[in-house]
Structure 1
Amino acid sequence: MSTQDNGSKPGLLPRNNTINTSLNPTTSPQTCQASPPQDSDCQVIDSSGEDVESGATSPVNEKVEAIYPEGGLQAWLVVFGSFSGMVAGFGYMNTIGIYQAYLTEHQLSEYSESTIGWIFSLYIFLSFFCGLQIGPVFDAKGPRVLVALGTVFLLLSVFLMGSCTKYWHFLIVFGVLGGIGTSLIFTPAVSAIAHFFMLKRANATGLAATGGSVGGVIFPLMLQSLFPKVGWAWALRIQGFIFIVLLIPANLLIKSRLPPRPGGTLLPDFLIFRQPAFAIVTIGTYCLEWGLFIPITYLTSYSLASGAMSSTFAYQIIAIFNAGSCLGRWAPGYMADKWGRYNTMVGTIIGCMSTTLALWLPATVFSTRTSGPDGVPSTTIFALTVTYALLMGFASGSNISLTPVCVGMLCDTEEYGRYYATCYTIVSFGTLTGVPIAGAIIAACDGAYWGVATFTGLCYVCAGACFLSVRVMKVGWKLNVLY
């Protein structure tokens, strides 16, 4: 069979051991990228793992399964440890909408939305930016020390935040300590799964990533109930005690398996951006994260300002968002292993774009026209907002679970931590600026939210164009190709 020239030698497994396959055995064989150290011929196989030309079981799959366990007790314990760590780390991240709404009404009520937004954007920025060094350290040294340090930083953040009263307190305790702690936990949690899974990597990563959504459901509902009963300080301390329970299995179970790449260093390598596909995926991921954290941060504030629901339900809207995301982080990963990782990613991005522009944008516009004879009923705004939270939560789940898998398809597994970390070093600057930009847009629109809804939708338009471009670069426009 013929292969494209990707700077690889013939007779090797595809790069990252991933095969672009055709759903139709009669179509021309698709392209494989080669990567050492395997020596089997690159073959076109269908989703059942059979050789398209001979009908026999593909030796490519047999080789991959020999290198990667693709299951077993140890592999699934790693997934569970990653899940547990992400309930704490990403659960902390997915609760920022509750923190933002509470601080805006209480401790930081004298500050503008944009100014308060810098606290949360700094947190998100460090959560991703620190991966620049954490990824290569994971590749060389493994996850043990990283996860232990992340546990210390994250626990310090959540316990100390209960005592914060001033702006700079929150900037340091939540923004700096919390951001570094989250990064130290989630980067090894994601990277470790790649050492145990290849053919089922998207599914395994998606299962682990649901932990963040589970935390994003539990913690907002818990805090909403605790704030009036025990106050801000003790509500955060109770959350901290739960983090201790969650981070114990993360420290015990997250582990690496593959040895570091010979000659590897701890230094990041920005020369990999000379690969056009990787550069475009990084731009697309930048736009994804730019758009994702705007509704996570401001959906509760919008719900409070809309007047379409009670303040109690407004605090629950982010839990509805994360409930949709819980299924949305696993299901696309499961489908991606069968339908293609980039194919599924493009589909979910279209879902994010369409729900934002077709549901949230009209709701924000209607919120400005609730009075007068032509006013829009609050029930309409309520229905649009709740539907958006649920559907957008589902569609955006892949932003976290599938992105590392898509990045991993462009590199060897031994370099996965470096590629993933380098990508998110650039992406982190989008998370640093996205939330304050949204706050400035709200101010420019006199407190209305139609501007941020439009901005969010456009972010997903750009992200979809990038991921679709890489898909076309690799396998062309044929719709029946798994990639």
Structure 2
Amino acid sequence: MSTEFNGSTPGLILRDSSSALVGGVEPPPPQAHLSDSNSSSSLKTSVSEKDEKEAWMPLDELGRDGVSGRDIPISSEKQEGRGNDTPVARLDLEHQDSSWQAGPPAASLCGAGDATVYPEGGLQAWLVVLGSFCGMLSSFGFMNSIGVFQGYLSTHQLKDYSEGTIGWIFSVYVFLAFFGGLQIGPVFDAKGPFWLILAGSIVFTLSIFLMSICTQYWHFMLVIGILGGTGTSLIFTPSIGAIGHFFHAKRGSATGLAATGGSLGGIIFPLMLQSLFPKVGFAWAVRILAFIVASLCLIAISLVRSRLPPKANSSILPDFTILRDPAFALVTAGVFCMEWGLFIPVTFLGTYVLESEMPDSAAFTYQVLAILNAGSCLGRYLPGLFADRIGRFNAMICALFLCTLTTSSLWLPACLLSTAHPAAKPLTILYALLFGFASGSNISLTPVCVGQLCATEEY
């Protein structure tokens, strides 16, 4: 009789001398330990002599369910007086921790090659999700509102520049927000999330305050494109990475729940700015946004923590050797192309509405972005929830297919129709809602898909 781990399914598998499967038992928590005596693996127990005798029973009497249904360590030996052909199970509980309870443990083990135990919940884990939610609400809420600033700047401070030239400001911002993770990720592995989120909060909040006094093109490029993009990356990368330290089986749904913060910000910020711009002007509207962002960042700084210890002697430089793995290299290339496609509507949908001169186009510019992000709220959580059941990559492929379908069947016809056509505006609204839902998964599913290809300490 021996104990072993079978594949990626957590649980001790007992086999007798003929290698027949006898029963499965959840592995003991780290506090419990096995004692070895006379080539027999057993856990000693402090029970009475009567209980000692009752603790032995034949495995055929105990039954498979009798073993696998209990979260109790067992050993199998041959008991004197029962003969050599009768395997028996001994339920020994001397070293059983008081926290052990009947039924499977709340924690889970990841797949083969990574022996990390994940809490899969608990107060600390959900507080990290809340902190990540606030970090995403501030950073990605701003990112999902860049269409508002694109449209406003093209008719005010930067009205002498073309849409393409203004778009470079926000292209640099989005690029740095994601590209910065290449360097920030190794620092997170080595040092944890606290200092990264603190630095990102300072840089990002400062960039929004400075944006309120910008007047020239190079001002906006420096403040929004470079400072804002760097600050967003410093907040976003460790906020998402920390969730992976607490969840494995539920990583998709937990990450999706945190990612809804960015969509919620994409609903609140455009509508808020629509109301504030005519009342208090651009400068104070942006400053009010900066104060809100600072408050949310303080919550993220306070709550986001890592659970696993920093990697010993780990380098803070990117490790490109992981790209030797064909699967990882293909996913990296795929995500690179995906981001190019998904952020075009997010950036230019508001400008399209403004330039198309639809009825009430000025007000509709803000509203259409709020509609897009309302769909994205569901799109960031629900695909992550289903991804834990149908597969993370399967869910991602379905979402990208829906993005392609909605763009070709809704936005393209809306662009071809005359702006005076009564169907143009309804098609744009429907497109914003459905594309928002489909594209929302890129934030929640990309990290968990990548995390499926590497160990947690490298996530």
Q: What range is the shorter-chain TM-score in?
A: 0.7 to 0.9
Q: Secondary structure at the match of 2:423?
A: helix
In 2, the alpha carbon distance for the partners of 1:267 and 1:64 equals 26
Within 5 A, what are the aligned runs for 1:105-116? 105-116=155-166
Query: Is it true that 1:187 corresponds to 2:230 in the alignment?
Result: no
Report the structure, 1 or 2, having the larger helix content: 1
Aligned twin of 2:393: 342
CA distance in 2, matches of 1:114, 1:59: 60
Is 1:70 matched with 2:120? Answer: yes
Q: Which residue of 2 aligns with 1:480?
A: none
* Distance apart, 1:42 and its partner CA: 3.1
1:245 matched to 2:295? The reply is yes
Cα gap change, 1:381 to 1:58, in 2 (>3 Å)? farther
Partner in structure 1 of residue 378 of structure 2:
327
Letter in 1 for 2:8: C
Preserved contact between residue 148 and residue 365 of structure 2 (Cα < 8 Å):
no
Corresponding residue number in structure 1 for 2:8: 42
Q: Per the alignment, in what secondary structure is the counterpart of residue 410 of structure 1?
A: coil
Q: Look at both structures and tell me which one has the larger radius of gyration over its CA atoms.
A: 2
Equivalent pairs counted in the alignment come to 364
| 1:283 corresponds to 2:333 | yes
**Could you tell me how far apart the structure 2 residues matched to 1:39 and 1:250 are?**
38
Corresponding residue to 2:442 among 399, 404, 408? 399
Offset at residue 376 of structure 1 (A)? 7.6
Conserved 8 A contact 2:132-2:240 = yes
Does structure 1 conserve the Cα–Cα contact (< 8 Å) formed by 2:356 and 2:419? no
CA contact (8 A) 1:127 1:180 kept: yes
Are 2:429 and 1:386 aligned?
Answer: yes
Is residue 160 from structure 1 mapped to residue 126 from structure 2 by the alignment? no
In the alignment, is residue 196 of structure 1 matched against residue 162 of structure 2? no
Task: Give the corresponding residue for 1:232.
Answer: 282
Partners in 2 of 1:43 and 1:219 — Cα distance? Answer: 45
Worse overlay, 72-81 or 169-178:
169-178
For each residue in 1:435-472, what CA deviation from the matched residue of structure 2 results, as whole angstroms up to 9, or x when unmatched? xxxxxxxxxxxxxxxxxxxxxxxxxxxxxxxxxxxxxx
The counterpart of 1:260, out of the listed 307, 310, 323, is: 310
Q: Write out per-residue CA displacement over residues 176-228 of structure 1, whole angstroms, 9 at most, x where no aligned residue.
A: 11111101100000000000000000000000000000000000000011000
1:390-438 CA distance string (max 9 Å, x none): 000000010111001000000001111xxxxxxxxxxxxxxxxxxxxxx
Q: TM-score, normalised by structure 1?
A: 0.72
Q: Is the 8 A contact 1:308 1:378 kept in 2?
A: no
Q: Tell me which of the two structures has the higher relative contact order, counting C-alpha pairs closer than 8 angstroms and 6 or more residues apart.
A: 1
Q: Which runs of 5+ in 1 are unaligned?
A: 1-37, 46-52, 367-374, 417-483
Aligned residue in 2 for 1:456? none
Q: Does the residue aligned with 1:226 lie in a helix, a strand or coil?
A: helix
- What is the one-letter code of the residue matched to 1:309? P
- For residues 342-421 of structure 1, the aligned pairs below 5 Å read 342-366=393-417, 378-416=421-459
Q: Which residue of 2 aligns with 1:103?
A: 153
* Paired residues for 1:89-168 under 5 Å: 89-168=139-218
| Contact 1:40 1:59 (C-alpha < 8 Å) held by counterparts | no
1:247-272 per-residue CA deviation (whole Å, 9 max, x = no partner) reads 11100000111123344211111111
> Aligned residue for 2:267?
217
- Give yes or no for contact 1:307–1:378 (8 Å, CA) kept in 2: no
Change (3 A) 1:39 1:268: farther
Shift of 1:340: 1.1
Moved more, 76-85 or 238-247: 238-247
The corresponding residue for 1:313 is 364
Q: Provide the rounded CA distance (Å) in 2 between the counterparts of 1:174 and 1:287.
A: 23
Q: Would the alpha carbon gap of residues 284 and 309 (structure 1) be closer, same or farther in structure 2, given more than 3 Å must change?
A: farther
| Whole-angstrom distance in 1 between the partners of 2:211 and 2:118 | 42
How far has the Cα of 1:167 moved from its partner?
A: 0.3
Aligned-partner residue type, residue 425 of structure 2: F
3-state SS in 2 of match to 1:378: coil
The residue matched to 1:393 in structure 2 has which SS?
A: helix
Distance across 1 between alignment mates of 2:248 and 2:142: 29
Q: Which moved more, 1:305-314 or 1:275-284?
A: 305-314
Output the CA distance in 2 between the equivalents of 1:150 and 1:321.
27
Q: When the two structures are superposed, what TM-score results if normalisation uses the length of structure 2?
A: 0.76
CA distance in structure 2 between the partners assigned to 1:376 and 1:83 by the alignment: 38
The one-letter code sitting in structure 2 at the alignment partner of 1:398 is S
- Relative distance call for 1:304 and 1:253 in structure 2 (3 A) is same
The 5-angstrom pairing of residues 15-54 of structure 1 reads 41-43=7-9
The CA deviation at 1:149 is: 0.5
The answer as to whether partners of 2:256 and 2:380 remain within 8 angstroms in 1 is yes
Quote the residue 1:174 is aligned against.
Answer: 224
Pairwise CA RMSD: 2.3
Alignment check: 8 A CA contact 2:357 2:419 kept:
no
1:377 CA displacement: 5.2
SS of the counterpart of 2:305?
A: coil
* More strand as a share of residues: 2
| Separation of aligned partners in 2, 1:54 and 1:337 | 27
Deviations 1:107-158, CA, capped at 9 Å, x for gaps: 0010011111111011111111221221101001001111110111011111
Give the unaligned 5+ runs of structure 2. 12-21, 30-107
In structure 2, relative to structure 1, the CA distance for the partners of 1:233 and 1:377 (3 Å cut) is closer
Q: 1:376 to 1:227 in 2, by over 3 A?
A: closer
Q: Which amino acid aligns with 2:394?
A: N
Match for 1:379: what amino acid?
Answer: P
Letter aligned with residue 166 of structure 1: Q
Query: Alpha-carbon deviation of 1:64?
Result: 4.4
How far apart are residue 44 of structure 1 and its match? Answer: 10
Q: Distance in 2 between matches of 1:319 and 1:87?
A: 14
Q: Secondary structure at the residue paired with 1:261? A: coil
Instruction: Note if contact 2:208-2:224 (Cα within 8 Å) is conserved in structure 1.
Output: yes
